[in-house]
Amino acid sequence: MAGAATVVVTGAGGFIGRAACATLEAGGYAVRGLVRALDAGTAARPQFVPVGDLAAIDDRRLAELMHGATHVVHLAARVHQPHADGEGARAAMRRMNVDVTARLARAAADTGAAHFVFASTIKVNGEATPPGHPFRESDPPDPHDDYATSKWDAELALAELAEATGLRVTSLRLPLTYGPHAKANFAALARAVRAGVPLPFAAIDNRRSLLGVGNLGDALATLLASDDADARGRNTRYLLADAQPVSTPELVRAIAYALGVAPRLFAVPPSLLRFVGACVGRAAAVERLVGSLEVDTSAFRGRFAWTPPRTLAEELADAFAPGAPL
């Protein structure tokens, strides 16, 4: 139990934010969830506060939102938008992912918060791992796109702010995170499986680390309950993931089982999939299905005596519970 600890959670209206808020509330924290606007799931709950665009909030309002918080979990971010390239899109992403992050952390430090947790991305490390060589915290950063670069720049800004203020900062580099109401690539794959679309993935032999929102919420609760005097005044980075990586065909089969349908997989050589992807301008998307991206989570597990409590099957069962949209 966290006693009187108050946690401000940004991005509380997203699927990760809602799961995190629920887990932290169950652990005894008072949660103040910042959302862009109230909706049917948040309007009747006073712990959710509509704030509009965080990038447009002035410093006085940020201080009000941080007032009384002992911890801040910053989940809000701007991700890459399809067909939104160019300097304007990059500037908007940097404004949200770097500038807002730094301003929130400054406000948290100025109002007396003890710990600022930042949701970063494993894409800071890179896009793929060779067999037997998972990403680790000690690896040099290798961001390949504007989103990953903005997250790395935010980590650097947080390191400077932590040193200047003494605030404890923890950056969590997360892989693909899934759960109820998840969108983007995970939702697209689930819709294809549910619709019985034949998928050419049976010959893929890769390993990809994923993270269920239940495991993420538990990790956040464990992290916020910890006290690490040595971490004050610096930005400590950790990698998080479920207990075991999965191959793409294993993930398809697990999704199909959770949905109660038969998986429809057939074999196409990965080299041919890559060739077709390159021909149609979808090389990066195909590589995420064919290639490997593993993370070594031993640093977090060892430091906090933590083990992911939920299996892939349990997380998927929640993701596709009756009434959950796809």
Residue of 147, 178, 238, 257 marked catalytic: 147
Q: Report residue 91's pLDDT band, with 50, 70 and 90 as the boundaries.
A: confident
Is 48 within 8 Å of 38 (Cβ atoms)? yes
Other beta carbons less than 10 A from residue 229's beta carbon: 7
Residues 269/203, Cβ–Cβ less than 8 Å: yes
- Token code pair at residue 96: 């949200």
Q: What is the CATH number of the domain that holds 304?
A: 3.40.50.720
Domain for residue 44, yes or no? yes
Q: Are residues 139 and 193 in the same domain?
A: no
Q: Is residue 136 part of a domain?
A: yes
pTM for the full predicted model: 0.92
Q: Where is pLDDT greater, at 323 or 64?
A: 64
Active site residue 147: yes
Averaged pLDDT for residues 301-324:
91
Q: Is 4 exposed, middle or buried (0-12, 13-18, 19+ CB in 10 A)?
A: exposed
Instruction: Look up the domain containing 276 and give its range.
Output: 184-205+246-290
pLDDT at 297 over 50: yes
Residues 157 and 255 grouped into a single domain: no
Q: Please tell me whether residues 265 and 278 are part of one structural domain.
A: yes
- Are 240 and 97 in a shared domain? yes
Residue 324 has what pLDDT? 67
Question: For 128-175, what is each residue's pLDDT tens digit?
Answer: 999 889 999 999 999 989 999 999 999 999 999 999 999 999 999 999
pLDDT of residue 11: 93
What amino acid is encoded at 154 in this protein? A
Angle at 257 between CA 254 and CA 260, to 5 degrees: 150
| pLDDT tier at 80, thresholds 50, 70, 90 | low
In a domain, 220, yes or no: yes
Do 125 and 191 reside in the same domain of the chain?
Answer: no
Q: Residue 82: its pLDDT value, please?
A: 55
Q: Whole-number mean pLDDT of the chain?
A: 90
Instruction: Write down the pLDDT at residue 228.
Output: 75
Q: Is the pLDDT of residue 88 over 50?
A: yes
Residue 1: pLDDT band with limits 50, 70, 90 = very low
Check whether residue 112 and residue 190 sit in a common domain: no
Q: Evaluate whether residue 316 is within a structural domain.
A: no
Comparing 49-63, 190-204, 208-222, the range with the smallest average pLDDT is: 49-63
Number of domains in the chain: 2
Least confidently predicted of 36-50, 51-65, 106-120:
36-50
Give a yes or no: residue 317 inside a domain. no
